[in-house]
Amino acid sequence: MSTLSLPKALSPLVMHIEPLLAAAADYQLGEQVTLMPSSLDWVEVSTPSSIKRVGFEQACSTALVDYEIQDHWDANDVTLSSLKAQVLKCPDLVICGVPVKVGYLDIWYHDGEVRGCFSVECGDQTQQRAMLLVALALNYPLEDALVLARAYAQSTQMGIWPTERDAFPDIVCANFAKLSDIGWQRSMSAS
């Protein structure tokens, strides 16, 4: 059995998390997950194989979290190259919904490099956070959880797992057609 412990500050996510967990149980998408309140400043996701601590908008130097999710952006404040460099420097940093010329990017560190997924629309931040936490609690790897979360954020049906192809983001890779449009230059990897 898994547990998802939410701090009081994130209690509005419960209205999204509960229906997602119920649907996951109905379709046997993983271990049963128990949702619990927490007095901590971060979310704790405990699965049979690991315990992950997820912080939202916390400082990169916070050694208490395994994933630091940053999802509040002003388009004029950041450049994609600086964000990619930050992710390389701080592998626990996960950047969601950063605006680029033609849409939005989620970026994260995996296996020595910065990876990303692209969506034309950002979708609802609360829905995205809820699905990300549910997927992590169901023991999905981070990159799968991020793709599901972005798809759910763009979905029009709350509480239902995304199934429509158009809701899912595109993975940023060498043959991604909009690579230069979004400003994603050559691969950045750790040396």
Residue (of 117, 79, 125, 70) closest to 100 by Cα position: 79
Distance (Å, rounded) from C-alpha 184 to C-alpha 16? 32
Supply the pLDDT for residue 76.
Answer: 64
Average pLDDT, stretch 161-189?
86
| % of the chain at pLDDT higher than 90 | 73
pLDDT at 78: 72
pLDDT (tens digit per residue) in 166-177: 999 999 998 899
Are 117 and 145 in contact, with CB atoms under 8 Å apart?
A: no
Q: How far is CA 96 from CA 61, 80, 108, 126, 158, in A?
A: 18, 12, 9, 12, 20
Q: Are 21 and 31 in contact (CB under 8 A)?
A: no
pTM of the model: 0.93
The tens digit of pLDDT for each residue in 26-72 reads 999 988 999 999 999 999 999 999 999 999 986 544 568 999 999 98
**165 pLDDT higher than 80:** yes
Among 52-56, 97-101, 181-185, which is the least confidently predicted range? 181-185
Alpha-carbon distance 143 to 116, whole Å?
A: 9
If you write DSSP's letter for every residue of 53-116 in order, what string do you get? EEEES--TT-TT-SEEEE----TTT--HHHHHHHHHH-TTEEEEEEEETTEEEEEEEETTEEEE
